[in-house]
Copies of this chain bind each other. A is one copy, B any other.
């Protein structure tokens, strides 16, 4: 099993980062404009992009600390994988430790998703620091796979 791991620091409160990870409005402002659902534990969040989308079951949502999703629908390689967000404060920064874990193989699509997650984390950072993110369909295109 192989993991996608990232770390970003955001000059915003942990509460603000947490809201951007647990409310459809917040998620729509940095990941994909077409986001619906319920970000509370037990809820399901539906993220849609031009080529398809992902449904996530919210396994954990501890205010200002941790969010954990499990992918219950979407591309085959994603199903059953888990996406974790751990927040802590370091000086003026909220440090976001991100993991997309449980990939069965380091397929080419995983390489793509690793780079793409980094650009979406920068979108999250931008949203919280400047008020403007770059959610799909306004996201940074990184390749022929978008």
Binding site for B on A (CB under 8 A): 2-10, 90-93, 95, 97-98, 106, 108, 110-112, 114-115, 118-119, 121-122, 125, 140, 142-145
Contacts and interface: CB of A to CB of B under 8 A. Distances in A.
Given A2-B2, A7-B114, A8-B143, 11 more contacts: A5-B111, A5-B114, A6-B111, A6-B118, A7-B108, A8-B142, A9-B144, A92-B144, A95-B143, A118-B118, A122-B142
Nearest to A108: B7
Copies of this chain present in the complex amount to 2
Nearest to A111: B7
A122 B119 contact: yes
Contacts of A5: 2, 4, 106, 110-111, 114
Contact of A7 (B95, B121, B125, B143): B143
A123 to B, nearest CB: 12
Contacts of A2: 2-3, 5
A4 B114 CA distance: 8
Contacts of A118: 6, 114-115, 118-119
A91 B140 contact: no
Q: Chain B CB within 10 Å — which of A3, A7, A9, A98 has the most?
A: A7
A143 B10 CA distance: 6
